[in-house]
A and B are shown apart, each in its own frame.
Chain A
C-alpha cells in the first residue's frame, strides 16, 4: 500500500500528458516504457513484502502484548517447538499455561487490520485516474480539406465514339445478359460525360464490368466450332444436307439453320420428296453426323490408349535397361507431349459433345424416323434447326460480349495513356488527335511555306512515338505534297509568316540553328491495301475527299472499314509494342466515319 501511490501517481501524470498532448500510440510509447519503473518498484515492494523474513513469534507477541499475558502464549509456543523429552517440568507447565490462555485470546482486537495511511491517497489517485480516463480533451485541429474531386475527363469525340459503340451493341443484341452489360457500359459512358466519376471510380466500374463479362463468356466456343465442323464433314456426304454442311463449316449458323429448315420442308412435301437412294444417303449422313462427335471422342480415346501403352512400355524399357535410357528419353518426351495434346483434344471433344448433344440427338432421331416416316424426320430436322438457331444466337451474343470487352479495353487503354504521363502526355495525345483528324498542329514536318488556307490539313506525315525515341510515321493523305517538299530540303520546315502562304513554306525558322532533325528511329510505312472493287472512286480519292470535307460519307466508311480491317489483322498477327497498338487504334478511332 505504501508503494501503490507511486505507479498510480505516475499513471495520473502520464494519462494527463496523453490527454493534453493528444499523443499517438507511438508518442505514448516512451511513457509506457518509463511507466515500467514505478510499476517495477511497486512489484518489487510487493514481492519483498511477500517473501521477507518476518520476526519470529510476531503474531503471538502481539497477542501477548494486547492481552497483557507477559509472553505466556509466545513462550508456550516456543517451548512446544522443543522435543518433549527435552522439556523441563517448568516448560511443560508454561506450555499448559499458554494453552489455558488460548481461549481468552482475541486476535481480531489484538491485531486489527488497520486501514493504511496511504489509503486516502490511493483512493484519491484512483478517482483521479478514473476521472481523467473519462475526460475528453477536445482539440480543434484544422483538418486537411478533402481532396478536390477531379472528374475523369474524356473528349466529346471519345464520348461520342463510345456512345455509338454502346448504341450499336444494344441494337445488335437481344441476349438479356449482354444487354445488361451494354446498359452498364452506356451508363458508364454517360457518367463520364457528365463528369460524375473520378479516375478511380471509372477504372473500378470498368473492372467490375469486365469481370462480369468474362464470367458470363462462354469459353467453349472453340470446342463448339470443332463439333460443328465434324458435323459438317458428315453432312457433306449427302447432297441434301450439303448446303447446311457448307454453312456449318463456314460457321454461318443462320444459313445452316435455313438449309435444314428447307430440307425439312422438302421432306414434308410429297412432291419434292427425294428418291429413296437420296433418302438413304441422307439417313446415313444424318446417322453419321449424329455420332460424329462421339466417334471423334472414341478415336481420341483409342489413340490415347495406344499412346499410353507405348508410354508404359518405354518406361518399362528404361527401367530394365538404364543404359538404353538415353535413347528412350526423346521418345518418352515425344510420347508425353502427344499424350498431353490428346488429353487437351479429348477434353475439347468432350465439351463439344456436351454442347452438341441436343443437335446430335435430333439428327439421330431424324435418321431413325427417316426410315419409316419422312414427316416425323422433317420435324426432327426442324428441331435440329432450332438448336442451331440457339447456338447461332449464343454465338452472336458471345461476339457482342467480346466486342464490348474489346471496347472496354480500348477505353481503359485510352484512359491509361491519358493519365500515364501527366500533362505532357495529355498534350501529346491532344496533338495526336488534332493531327489525326488533319487539324493544324505545331509539330515538325511542315512544308517550306507556312500552312495555307487549309491550315493543318497540309501537314507532314503522322509520327507515332515519344520525342527522341523510336517512332513510326504514318503517311497522311494530304501530306504527300508537303512531305515531298520537305524531303527535298534537309532542314525542318517553318514558315516565317504563319498562315499567310498558299503552299507549304520552303524556308526555315530563323530561330532554329543546327542540323536538321535526324531521327535515329527508322520510319516504317504502313500500307493499307483497300479492297479494290474496280468500281467508283479509288480509295485514295475517297480518303482525299474525306480529308477535304471531313470524315463523312458512304465511300469513306467503306474505305475506313477496309483500312481498319487490315490494321487490326496486322495488329493481331504481328508483334507490335502495345504502346504502338494504342496509337494505331486511337488513330482509327479519331478518323472513324462520322454521321
Chain B
C-alpha cells in the first residue's frame, strides 16, 4: 500500500466517523446541519465556536449531545453577571485529610472539561469572560504559581442571545477573535419543528451513544492539519481576508463604505482550517476555493467590525462578507 492509498484510507475512515457522528447527533438534534457541521469543524480544527441564536433553538442540547457522542468530559457554565473567574477556573481550598492533616488543594472548575459549554457568555463580566478566553487560547490555566494544563481535546462552545442585550457585556473584539467560528443557529423549519415536537413531547427518551474515542478525535484533528491547500486556494482565502479591509484594493464598495475594521489573520486561518475539514467531510484530499467560500461567513462574521454608518444602516456583516465572496474572482492575474 502506498502512502497515497493510506491517505485515501485515512480520509475514508474520517468520512465514516463523521457520518457516524452526524447520524448519532441527528438522533437528538433535528436539522441544523450547518450548525452541527460548523461545531464539528471547530472541534476537529481544535478550536472554539460561538453560537448565537434565540433561546430554545437547541444550542445547549447540541453541545450536550456532541459531548455525549464524542465520549468526552463535558461541563456547562451558565454565565451570569455575578459569576466570578474562580467559579469557572476553580479555587484553592483548605482540605482536611482522613488523618486530619490540612492542606491547600486546587479544586478544578468546570473549565477543565474537554467540552465546555459557556452558556450566555455575554452575561458575565469581562473579568470572568477574560478568564475563560485565556483558557481557550492557551489551553492552560494559571492559578497562583501553578499552571494547570487542560486535557486535549479541548473546546469551548459559547452561546449568546442576540435579543436580550440589556445587562449584558458584549464580548470585546479581541476576545471574539479567539472564536474559530461564529455560528448562527437558525429557526427550524416547519418539518423540523414537527420532528422536534414529536421527539420532545412523548415519553421516548433518546440516549446517545459514544461513537468516537478521544484518541480518534485527536487523530482526526491531526489529519485535518495534514490536509494540503493549493496555493491558489490559500491565495483566495487571503484575498477574501484582505477584501474585508476598507483600504484594500479588492475591497468592494460595501466594505469601503460600511466596514470599520477588517478581519485579523486568524480569519484566514479559520477559513482554511474550516475548508480543510469541509474537504475531508466530502472525502476530498485538499481544500478548495468552494470550501473557503463555504466557511468564510462563519469564520469572518464576528471579525468584521462595522462602522457607525454600517450599524446605523442596519448592514449585517454577513451581507458584507457575502458581497466579497460574490465579487471576488477565484483567481487573479
Residues in A neighbouring B230, C-beta threshold 8 A: 71, 74-75, 78-79
Flag the segment in A49-57, A512-520, A570-578 that touches B.
A49-57
Instruction: Identify B282's interface contact among A52, A64, A70, A88, CB under 8 A.
Output: A70
Q: B231 contacts which of A70, A78, A89 (Cβ < 8 Å)? A: A78
Q: Please judge, given known A-B contacts A90-B226, A94-B228, whether A75 and B7 are in contact too, CB under 8 Å.
A: no
User: Which residues of B (1-44) have their CB < 8 Å from a CB of A?
Assistant: 2-8, 11
In the assembled complex, the CB of B224 is this many whole angstroms from the nearest CB of chain A, namely: 11
A104 to chain B, nearest CB (A): 15
Interface of chain A residues 57 through 97 with chain B (CB within 8 A): 57-58, 61, 64-65, 70-72, 74-75, 78-79, 88-94, 96-97
User: How far apart are B49's CB and chain A's nearest CB, in angstroms?
Assistant: 24
> For the complex, what is the distance from the CA of A56 to the CA of B331, rounded to whole Å?
6
CB-based contact A89/B331 at 8 Å:
no
How distant is the Cα of A53 from the Cα of B288 in the complex, in angstroms?
A: 23
Q: How distant is the Cα of A52 from the Cα of B333 in the complex, in angstroms?
A: 9
Among B8, B11, B232, find the residue whose CB has the most chain A CB atoms closer than 10 A.
B232
Known: A54-B333, A78-B230, A78-B232. A71 touches B290 (CB 8 A): yes
CA distance A97 to B4 in the complex (A): 10
Are B288 and A71 in contact (CB-based, < 8 A)?
yes
On chain B, the residues within 8 Å of A74 by CB distance are: 230, 232
Contact A92/B333 with A71-B230, A79-B230 known, Cβ cut-off 8 Å = no
Across the interface, do A94 and B333 meet the contact criterion of CB distance under 8 Å?
Answer: no
Q: How far is the CB of B230 from chain A (nearest CB, A)?
A: 4
A579 to chain B, nearest CB (A): 88
Q: Quick check: B285 and A93 within 8 Å, CB to CB?
A: yes
Interface centre among A56, A78, A88, A90 (most CB of B within 10 A): A90
**Binary interface profile of B, 297-333, with partner A (CB < 8 Å = 1, else 0)?**
0000000000000000000000000000000011111
Interface check B233, CB cutoff 8 A: yes
For the complex formed, measure the closest distance between the CB of A223 and the CB atoms of chain B, giving whole angstroms: 94
- A contact residues around B285 at 8 Å (CB): 90-91, 93-94, 97
B4 touches A89 (CB 8 A): yes
- B140 proximal to A (CB < 8 A): no
- The minimal Cβ–Cβ distance linking A50 to chain B, given in whole angstroms, is 14
Interchain CB contact under 8 A, B286 and A55: no
A94 to B331, CA, bound (A): 20
Using Cβ atoms and an 8 Å threshold, which residues of chain A touch B282? 70
Is residue B227 within 8 Å, beta carbon to beta carbon, of the partner chain?
A: yes
Complex Cα distance A571/B231, Å?
110
What are the residues of chain A within 8 A of B227 when measuring CB–CB? Answer: 90
B284 at the interface (CB under 8 A from A): yes
Pick the residue among A52, A58, A65, A79 that contacts B286 (CB under 8 A).
A79
Contacts of A93 in B (CB 8 A): 4-5, 7-8, 11, 285
Q: How far is the CB of B193 from chain A (nearest CB, A)?
A: 32
Taking CB atoms and an 8 Å cut-off, the chain B residues in 218-269 that contact chain A are 226-228, 230-233
Residue B291 interfacial (CB < 8 Å)? yes
* B289 on interface, CB distance cutoff 8 Å: yes
CA distance in complex: A79, B289 (Å): 15
The reply to whether A70 and B7 form a contact with Cβ atoms under 8 Å apart is no
- Please report the C-alpha to C-alpha distance between residue A89 and residue B227 in the assembled complex, in whole angstroms: 10
Question: When the two chains form the complex, which single residue of B226, B289, B331 contacts A88, counting CB atoms closer than 8 Å?
Answer: B226
Choose among B2, B231, B288, B332 the residue that contacts A55 (Cβ–Cβ < 8 A): B332
Contacts of B6 in A (CB 8 A): 89
Indicate if the CB atoms of A57 and B331 lie closer than 8 Å: yes
Closest to B329 in A: A55
Bound-state CA distance A57–B333 (Å) is 10
Give the interface size class of chain B.
20 to 34
* Residues from chain B with Cβ under 8 Å of A89 in the complex: 2-4, 6-7
CB distance from A362 to the nearest CB of B (A): 107
User: In whole angstroms, what is the CA distance A96 to B2 when docked?
Assistant: 12
Distance in angstroms from B23 CB to nearest chain A CB is: 23
> How far, in angstroms, from A392 to B17 measured CA to CA in the complex?
138
Q: How far is the CB of A92 from chain B (nearest CB, A)?
A: 4
Nearest residue, chain B, Cβ from A52: B333
Chain A residues with Cβ under 8 A from B286's Cβ?
Answer: 71-72, 75, 79, 90-91, 94
Q: Which residues of A contact B231 (CB under 8 A)?
A: 56, 78
Chain A nearest CB from B161 CB (Å) reads 36
A89 to B333, CA, bound (A): 30
CA distance A70 to B289 in the complex (A): 7
Indicate which residue in A56, A65, A70, A79 contacts B228 across the interface (CB closer than 8 Å): A79
> Which of chain B's residues have a CB closer than 8 A to the CB of A72?
284, 286, 288
Determine the chain A residues whose CB is within 8 A of the CB of B11 once the complex forms.
90, 93
Q: How far is the CA of A557 from the CA of B285 in the complex (A)?
A: 134
C-alpha spacing A91/B66, complex, angstroms: 31
Q: Is there an interface contact between B7 and A90, defined as CB atoms closer than 8 Å?
A: yes
CB distance from B117 to the nearest CB of A (A): 33
C-alpha spacing A75/B279, complex, angstroms: 12
Q: Which residues of chain B in 192-235 are interfacial with respect to chain A, using CB atoms and an 8 Å cutoff?
A: 226-228, 230-233
**Cβ contact within 8 Å between A70 and B233:** no
A74 to chain B, nearest CB (A): 7
Q: How many angstroms from the CA of A72 to the CA of B228 in the assembled complex?
A: 12
Residues of A within 8 A of B289 (CB): 61, 71
How near does chain A come to B277, taking the closest CB pair, in angstroms? 14
Those of A92-132 within 8 Å (CB) of chain B: 92-94, 96-97
Given contacts A52-B333, A90-B227, contact A70 B290 (CB under 8 A): yes
Closest beta carbon of chain A to B109's beta carbon, Å:
39
* Max chain B Cβ within 10 angstroms of own Cβ: one of A54, A65, A74: A74
Q: How far is the CA of A519 from the CA of B226 in the complex (A)?
A: 128
Which residues of chain B have C-beta atoms less than 8 A from A79's C-beta? 228, 230, 286
A15 and B234 alpha carbons, distance in the complex (Å): 54
**Contacts A71-B288, A71-B290 given: A88-B329 contact, CB under 8 Å?**
no
Minimum CB–CB distance for B195 against chain A, Å: 30
Which residue in chain A gives the minimum CB-CB distance to B223?
A90
Contact indicator A70/B333 (Cβ below 8 Å): no
Tell me the bound Cα distance from A70 to B8 in angstroms.
17
Specify which chain A residues have a CB less than 8 angstroms from the CB of B330 in the assembled complex.
61, 65
Min Cβ gap B285→A in Å is: 4
B291: nearest chain-A partner, CB-CB: A70
Q: Write out the residue numbers on chain B whose beta carbons fall within 8 Å of the beta carbon of A64.
A: 288
Task: Select one of B2, B4, B288 contacting A75, CB under 8 A.
Answer: B288
Shortest Cβ distance from A51 into chain B, in angstroms?
12
Q: Please, how many angstroms separate the alpha-carbon atoms of A342 and B212 in the complex? A: 135
Query: Once the chains are docked, how many angstroms separate the CA of A64 from the CA of B330?
Result: 11
User: Which of B11, B230, B332 gathers the greatest number of chain A CB atoms within 10 Å?
Assistant: B230
CA of A564 to CA of B289 in the docked complex: distance in angstroms? Answer: 120
Residues of A within 8 A of B5 (CB): 93
- A70:B232 contact, CB within 8 angstroms: no
**Per-position 1/0 for B82-93, Cβ under 8 A of A:** 000000000000
CB distance from B183 to the nearest CB of A (A): 22
A57 to B11, CA, bound (A): 26
| Neighbouring B residues of A57 by C-beta, 8 Å | 232, 331
Which residues of B sit under 8 angstroms from A56, Cβ to Cβ?
A: 231-232, 331
Asked if residues A97 and B3 are in contact (CB atoms below 8 Å), the reply is no
Q: Are B331 and A92 in contact (CB under 8 A)?
A: no
Min CB distance B16 to A, Å, is 17
CB-CB < 8 A to B4: which residues of A?
89, 92-93, 96
Question: Knowing A75-B233, A89-B4, A93-B11 touch, does A61 contact B226 (C-beta < 8 A)?
Answer: no
Provide the bound-state CA to CA distance between A7 and B132, in Å.
69
Q: Closest CB-CB distance, A306 to chain B, in whole Å?
A: 98
The list of the 10 closest CB pairs from A to B, nearest first, reads A89-B3, A71-B288, A55-B331, A89-B7, A78-B230, A94-B285, A92-B4, A93-B285, A70-B288, A75-B230
9 residue pairs A–B, Cβ–Cβ below 8 Å: A53-B333, A55-B329, A61-B289, A61-B331, A70-B291, A89-B7, A90-B285, A93-B4, A97-B284
A interface residues with partner B (beta carbon < 8 Å): 52-58, 61, 64-65, 70-72, 74-75, 78-79, 88-94, 96-97
Q: Given A90-B286, A94-B284, 9 other A-B contacts at CB below 8 A? A: A61-B289, A61-B331, A70-B279, A71-B230, A71-B289, A72-B286, A75-B286, A89-B7, A97-B285
